[in-house]
Amino acid sequence: MSAALQIKKVLISDSCDARCAEILREAGCDVTVKTDFTKEQLVEAIKDFDALVVRSATKVTADVINAATNLKVIGRAGTGVDNIDCDVATARGVLVINAPGGNTLAAAEMTCAMIISLSRDVAAACASLKAGRWDRKTFMGTELNGKTLGIVGLGRIGREVAIRMQAFGMTTIGYDPIIPAEQAAKFNVKAMSLDELWPQCDYITVHTPLLPETKNLISAGTLARCKKGVKVVNCARGGIVNENDLLAALESGQASGAGFDVFEDEPPKNTAFIAHPKVICTPHLGANTKEAQSKVAIEIAEQFVALKKGERAWGAVNKPKPAN
């Protein structure tokens, strides 16, 4: 057990399930919920707080962290911490935590929905019918049974996608630099290198964080090595797949479909990509279910309470330097 953190005043600066504030107040915290800060207002306000809870809207920049004279912990009610300057937080002795399990099922289900929709061209067929056309010949689908799904990233979400798509008769193969092949085999995924994976896939889905080594992981060179007609799904983080390169592959026929919930820029600026008829796109809804939002809010609050008791935060994403 580590030393208990003195978390007395907590700021929640993005919309979170009400249970987050309730749990913190029950633990004796003074909680302020305010979701309309400008950056300048947040820099001024953060000086008074020991802890901060955000989702993805609040940008916890170096300016914010450096102004936070009492800040001990930043909680991300979700998984990705792209909106938090973790390097500065680490240097300033501020712990950053996320809620790693809360949105797993929501993100996995969104991914599966994309795969199924791509296989039957659901979005385009729906738009066609709503436009007054009864066009059955154009929208010829393909069955998922017997097709190969390549999963890049075999953590919580990747394995839940694998289990669900196996129920459709898909063969699941995957790559993860951390998960051993023996562990992947336990959920019926054959682990292999990326060089082995690309040429085998009818569908590819990515489930990795956005890191320097995963930026543009799928690009022109990668797509050229894939099976002709491959379909690509990204419900993880924008930038893992190069949108312009995938657009070129869709135009040439090397790729035959894309399902994207996340984008290099959000809102997306690549209008040619999202307008392409073979692209299904949604506005970053992967974790946007009532259940997931409740789970991540509760998980963050429970970790704050654990830290107050001197217990471990299971969602820690950094190892802050000791305060001077």
Are 151 and 207 contacting, i.e. CB atoms less than 8 angstroms apart?
yes
* The token pair that represents 176 in the structure block: 């993860």
Give whole-number Cα distances, 93 to 7, 47, 96, 310, in Å: 14, 15, 10, 16
Q: Which helix (H) or strand (E) holds 281?
A: strand 279-281
> Is 266 one of the annotated active-site residues of the chain?
yes
Q: How far apart are CA 99 and CA 80, in angstroms?
A: 9
> Is 207 one of the annotated active-site residues of the chain?
no
Q: Note if the bond before 267 is cis, omega within 30 degrees.
A: yes
Active-site entry in 196, 251, 266, 291:
266
Nearest to 114 by CA among 262, 216, 317, 291: 262
Angle subtended by helix axes 290-308 and 18-26, to nearest 10? 20
Active-site entry in 237, 243, 264, 302:
237
Angle subtended by helix axes 156-166 and 104-120, to nearest 10? 40
Active-site entry in 92, 164, 207, 284:
284
Residues carrying an active site annotation: 237, 266, 284
